[in-house]
Structures are given as structure tokens and as C-alpha cells.
Amino acid sequence: MNAEIIAVGSELLLGQIVNTNARFLSQQLADLGINVFYHTVVGDNPQRLKAAIEMAEGRSDFLIFTGGLGPTKDDLTKETIAAHVKKQLVMDEQALEQITLYFERSNRTMTENNKKQAIILEDSHVLPNEHGMAPGMLLNIEKHMYMLLPGPPKEMEPMFLKYGYPLLRSKLNEDETIVSRVLRFFGIGEALLETEIEDLIDSQTNPTIAPLASDGEVTLRLTAKHKQRDTALRLLDETERVILSRVGEYFYGYDDTTLMHEAMKIIKEKGLTISCAESLTGGMFQQTFTAIPGAGAYLKGGVVCYTNEAKAKVLHVREETINEQGAVSAQCASELAENVSSLMNSDIGISFTGVAGPDELEGHPVGTVFISIFIKGQHVQTQKLHLGGTREAIRIRTVKYGCYFLINCLKKIKNVH
């Protein structure tokens, strides 16, 4: 079965909102093993919506609509589909009851046009809306399946998860399971990674291997199909083993993890605490770290030493260092790492200094970065990098390299507890 996701709403075509529904539903359908070949967005215009439906029927078995189920005049999804598939629109008493309750609960007055939302396509299977008014619908006509879902993600997502997903699962023939796994890499470009495993990507069909690059990271999505789930998983394991035997040194985690999550995980495992001195990153490392709940158990704190004055006054970088080697230097980075860990009384000190741009600094080109790591009295690593991209891209990659180096350093040391 292959599907097409059709979002209805002029606000999408005006760029007022992003079509996150298409992403959510695509993930869900991938889990169900349903291929999504197209996303379409069309405005609140019955002619163009009708044309989009006919188009989709010609190329897809399963049409999923989001939006256009609201109470206002420009909400026309139900009406247009009803006319197209020649079905009546009928009042659904249960839905009407829910809407009435919804208004009682929220102490608002129900208007006539709200009742419109309780009208459904006859013969359709109703998906209750527990977070809003418009119910969803699933309709089968000959070889096509039509699912209508509300536009607001707050209503659509829980509705799909609780009612849509199980319903589809039961309709699919169950004799094939699809399992998927994402391998995450850092420190290697997409082109180079792909060159390393080109033969696998070209030759393999089960699992399939799909590369994707973003923000200096590369991911490989492995997707396997088999009658037995165990066998499908075994196929993933085997392919993963082959891939990691070639590019394992750049691998850092699975699925939706991040370098920062992995860094925090290993800091926790080793029973350590960390503090941070940030010059060019201006607080980004600590902000990213503290975005993770529970960060306070591991991050003591840190200093944003954006000026040389702050480096000298607060983190006691030696005057000679600043004058002779400069703030953008390995020596400055290692003093920052050591001194922040003693100031904050943490096991680990990590520091970032360099040139984010737009202008060069101390004669160093934009993208020159020093990262230093100090662990329990030892200078473990001080690394110079040359990064490309915008000011923000350089800062983001600097933080990612910091996590990456930290993970690799900590892997080498023994647990404390």
C-alpha cells in the first residue's frame, strides 16, 4: 500500500505555518510499513482540492487529508470529498455530543457553525477528537482509502496515535514486519562516508541504507523487512556490523540521540562533574547541556569569557599568554579549561576559544577554533580546528566537536564509582 498526505489550508501556502503534520504522519506510516510517495499542500479552494484528489487517486491507494474540518466557511475538505466520492454528509450524534460537552467544559458559547463540525461522511469510521471538536474519519471506497484528520497538531497527533494507527494496523496484512534504525556519525562528511560504503548502498535491498547529512552530522537509516520481526532485526544487526567495521570510529549513537546526550550519558556513567569556559560559543555549550533535564547533577556551571578582560580577571589566564600567544591559542584554551574546573570545583573542565567571524581575529581566519579538555588534574586534549560556514554554523559545530572529543576522552578513562 502506498500513501499520499494532502494538507488543506491556504495558511500553509502563505507560509504562515509549517506543515509538521506531514512529517508526523510520514514517520507513523513508515512505522506501519506504508510507503509515502508524495506530500501535497493545496489551499482552501474546492476546484484545486478536487483536482488534487483526482491526481492522488491516480497514483496512490491511501489518501490522508489534514485540515479543512473547521467550523468556518473556508473549511471545505469534507464537502469536497463527499461530492467527489458521491457520499452524503450526515450528522453524527456522538460527535455533536462531544462538541457540546467541549463547550460546556471550556465555558464558551457554542455557535451554529460549530455544529457543522459534527457532520461526517456517511459509512465512514469516526475517529473521536479528544482535544478539539472536529472528528476524524476513515472511508473505504473500492480500492481507495480516505482518512480525514483535523489540522491542528494538538488534535491530529493524539487522534492518530490512539485511533488512526491501530485502525490502519488492523487493516494491513500482517505478514511482513518493517524495522528501521538510524546510525549517527560525526567528524566525517556525507560524501566520504558514502564513498566508504558505496558498494553496500548500491548492492543492498534488505536492509536498505539511506544516508542523510545535516549540521555537520551524517546519519544512515537502515530499514529491513521480513515476516519474522527477529529476522528483520538480525538483518539490521548484520548490516550495522559491516558498516561499523569500516566507519565505526565516527559512529556515536542511534536514532534520535544527540552528541550532547551521549556526552552527558558518559559523564554520568563515569560519575563525574563538568564545568565550561566559553569564548566564541558564548554559552552555547552550557545552554545545550542544560536543555537536558537533570543537567544540574553534572554541570557545576561555567563562565562566558567573551572578552580578554573576563579571561584574565575571572579565569586567570596569564597576561603573557594573552599578550604573546593571544586569546585564540592552544595555551589560552588549556589555561581556560584548567582554571574553570578549579573555579567551579568540577572533575572536568572544557574550554572553547576561537574566531566565529564575520571578521578575523589576532590574524587567525574565521573558523579557527581551539578546544581544550582538562580532567582530574590532567590536560587530556587540546585540539585546533578549521571550520567552515556561517558564524552560527561555526559555533554549533564547535560545540558538537567539544562533545565528540569529550566522549572519546572519557571512553578511555576508568569509572570513578
Asked if 282 and 304 count as a contact pair (C-beta separation under 8 A), the reply is yes
Tell me how far, at minimum, the Cβ of 253 lies from a second copy, in Å. Answer: 15
Tell me how far, at minimum, the Cβ of 273 lies from a second copy, in Å. Answer: 9
Supply 314's cell numbers: 575571572
125 vs 225, which CB is nearer to a second copy?
225
User: What is 48-71 written as a DSSP string?
Assistant: HHHHHHHHHHHH-SEEEEES--SS
Tell me how far, at minimum, the Cβ of 414 lies from a second copy, in Å. Answer: 25
48 vs 411, which CB is nearer to a second copy?
48
289 vs 374, which CB is nearer to a second copy?
289
Tell me how far, at minimum, the Cβ of 107 lies from a second copy, in Å. Answer: 5
Write the CB contacts of 81 (distance below 8 Å, at least 6 apart in sequence): 53, 65, 87, 121, 139, 146, 148
Tell me how far, at minimum, the Cβ of 87 lies from a second copy, in Å. Answer: 25
Asked if 113 and 167 count as a contact pair (C-beta separation under 8 A), the reply is no
Instruction: Supply φ then ψ for residue 128, to 5 degrees.
Output: -60, 145
User: What is 226-263 written as a DSSP string?
Assistant: ESSHHHHHHHHHHHHHHHHHHHGGGEEEETT--HHHHH
R_g (Cα) of the chain, nearest Å: 28
Tell me how far, at minimum, the Cβ of 278 lies from a second copy, in Å. Answer: 7
139 vs 163, which CB is nearer to a second copy?
163
Report the SS3 class of residue 387.
Answer: coil
20 vs 378, which CB is nearer to a second copy?
20
The Cα–Cα gap between 222 and 156 comes to 28
Instruction: Answer positive or negative: Cα dihedral of 9, 13, 14, 18.
Output: positive
Our CA dihedral for 215, 220, 221, 225, rounded to 10 degrees, sits at 180
Tell me how far, at minimum, the Cβ of 177 lies from a second copy, in Å. Answer: 17
The Cα–Cα gap between 273 and 309 comes to 27
80 vs 124, which CB is nearer to a second copy?
80
The Cα–Cα gap between 7 and 25 comes to 11
10 vs 125, which CB is nearer to a second copy?
10
Tell me how far, at minimum, the Cβ of 168 lies from a second copy, in Å. Answer: 15
125 vs 131, which CB is nearer to a second copy?
131
